[in-house]
Amino acid sequence: MQITRGPVGGTAAPAEWFTGEAWIAPVAEPGARTQGDSVRFAPGSRTVWHRHPLGQVLVVTEGAGRVQRRGGPVETIRAGDIVRIAPGEWHWHGAAPAVPMTHLAIEPIPDDGTSAEAGEPVGDSEYHGGLAEDVPQVTRTVVLDQPLSRPRSTHRVEVRRITIAPGHAAGLHVHNGPVFGSIETGSAVYQIEGEAAAVLGPGDVFHEPEGARIARFDAGEDGVTFLGYFLLAADEAAEMEFPDR
């Protein structure tokens, strides 16, 4: 028994067979009657059109990708999926536009030694299923992943839309629980006492730590409107203190 610890890097895939970057790590023994390789595709990379004399099985082990057989639609595949490609069937496979993909590729080798046949590259339009550009239906971006200053039991989250008049400064204040916010319109200068000031604009998110002295939350010349999320216990009210100093 021999264990090769992953991830297995592999060697750069040949340019005549791939568009974009890919790496191949052989899995089967050299000379075996079945060829097996772990192939990792960088986002957007794919094979050229090709076919295998006895077909091929792909097992997606990581990420998400695309596969297409001649005359069929571009199909999305992801980790856990198994793709069976018929003998002689023209096809291509590769990563999704924004996500890498790794698959195990298994293909029997014919007795006469006939190898796979490469065709033309898969162009961008073809890769995107004939659409000029691939428009994602949903995008998800983490804009803040904020540890709290202390673990707390939150039973409610009160969401408030707060508007501060142009040029008005909230003044030094302290919240009794953590507050998160995201700016909708306008701008504000935000500063935790002792830390650097930041100018927040639409789409920016911020965190006012529980008990922290917030030195500034000053609306800009257009004022500011933001959503504030107040993390609260069941019987707790959001409170704000304005220390003299």
CB of 6 to Mn ion, least distance (A): 22
Question: What is d(CA 70, CA 135) in angstroms, rounded to the nearest whole number?
Answer: 23
CB of 116 to Mn ion, least distance (A): 7
Q: Is residue 102 involved in binding Mn ion (CB under 5 A)?
A: no
Nearer to Mn ion, 54 or 79 (CB): 54
Question: What is d(CA 221, CA 243) in angstroms, rounded to the nearest whole number?
Answer: 26
Q: Does residue 147 have a cis bond before it (omega within 30 degrees)?
A: no
Beta strands, E only, 7-155: 11-12, 18-19, 22-26, 34-41, 46-47, 50-51, 56-69, 75-78, 82-85, 91-95, 101-108, 117-118
How many residues bind Mn ion, per CB under 5 A?
1
**Near Mn ion by CB under 5 A, which window of 16-24, 26-34, 49-57, 226-234?**
49-57
Question: What is d(CA 105, CA 225) in angstroms, rounded to the nearest whole number?
Answer: 54
Nearer to Mn ion, 56 or 187 (CB): 56
Tokens of 75: 């199909």
Q: Is residue 68 involved in binding Mn ion (CB under 5 A)?
A: no
Tokens of 26: 């052989």
Question: What is d(CA 100, CA 94) in angstroms, rounded to the nearest whole number?
Answer: 9
CB of 153 to Mn ion, least distance (A): 53
Nearer to Mn ion, 69 or 207 (CB): 69
CB of 47 to Mn ion, least distance (A): 6
**Near Mn ion by CB under 5 A, which window of 52-60, 94-102, 181-189, 229-237?**
52-60
**Near Mn ion by CB under 5 A, which window of 3-11, 56-64, 169-177, 217-225?**
56-64
- Kindly tell me which residue out of 19, 56, 102, 187 binds Mn ion, with binding defined by CB under 5 A: 56
| CB-based contact 118:195 (threshold 8 Å) | no
Q: Is residue 19 involved in binding Mn ion (CB under 5 A)?
A: no
Contacts with Mn ion, residue ranges (CB under 5 A): 56
